[in-house]
């Protein structure tokens, strides 16, 4: 390999290293946000509604649920999806309506929430917070 080839190889290696470093930094930051929620207080939430929605990439339809919870006399709401669903979508939506679940909320901003359950009804919980939501969080 000549000197030019070595410089190109080193340049490519440097770019790859920078990309890996940025991705690692982002992932650790997201992971830290999720870990911080463990100290947040919990509230009981009720699933109010559900429907099939396309993911942000539009590749998959996932059962998506809206829920509400109350803290300090005020109501707050959120949404999450379940992925992958292997059962009849209408059936899982019907089973989930009215169901109770625990959410953690930021005491300084109670509208910010996190569902600590990783799995519900055998499906992965997809929510906005955390490194695990890059592909399947519902639109809107």
Q: What is the CATH number of the domain that holds 87?
A: 2.40.50
> What pLDDT, on a 0 to 100 scale, did the predictor assign at position 56?
67
> What pLDDT, on a 0 to 100 scale, did the predictor assign at position 102?
95
DSSP for 86-107? Answer: -S-HHHHHHHHTT-EEEEEEET
Sheet hosting strand 61-71, strand order edge to edge? 109-114, 100-106, 42-54, 61-71, 74-83, 123-126, 119-120
* 62 domain-assigned: yes
> What pLDDT, on a 0 to 100 scale, did the predictor assign at position 86?
63
* 46 domain-assigned: yes
Residues facing residue 104 across a β-bridge: 42, 114
> What pLDDT, on a 0 to 100 scale, did the predictor assign at position 77?
94
Average pLDDT, the chain: 83
* 122 domain-assigned: yes
* 34 domain-assigned: no
Condensed to tens digits (0 to 9), the pLDDT of residues 16-52 reads 889 988 888 877 776 777 677 788 999 999 999 999 8
* 27 domain-assigned: no
* 14 domain-assigned: no
More confident residue, 59 or 131: 59
* 31 domain-assigned: no
* 22 domain-assigned: no
For residues 59-70, average pLDDT: 89
Count how many domains the chain has. Answer: 1
Domain carrying residue 100: 40-133
């Amino acid at each position: 390999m000549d000197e030019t080839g070595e410089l190109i190889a080193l340049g490519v290696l440097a770019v790859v290293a920078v990309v890996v470093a940025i991705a690692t930094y982002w992932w650790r930051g997201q992971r830290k946000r999720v870990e911080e929620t463990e100290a947040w207080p919990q509230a009981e939430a009720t699933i109010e509604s559900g429907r099939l929605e396309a993911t942000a990439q539009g590749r998959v339809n996932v059962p998506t649920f809206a829920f509400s919870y109350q803290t300090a006399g005020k109501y707050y709401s959120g949404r999450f999806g379940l992925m992958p669903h292997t059962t009849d979508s209408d059936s899982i939506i019907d089973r989930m309506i009215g169901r109770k679940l625990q959410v953690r909320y930021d005491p300084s901003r109670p509208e910010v929430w996190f569902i600590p359950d990783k799995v519900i009804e055998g499906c992965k919980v997809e929510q906005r917070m955390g490194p695990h939501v890059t592909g399947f969080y519902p639109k809107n």
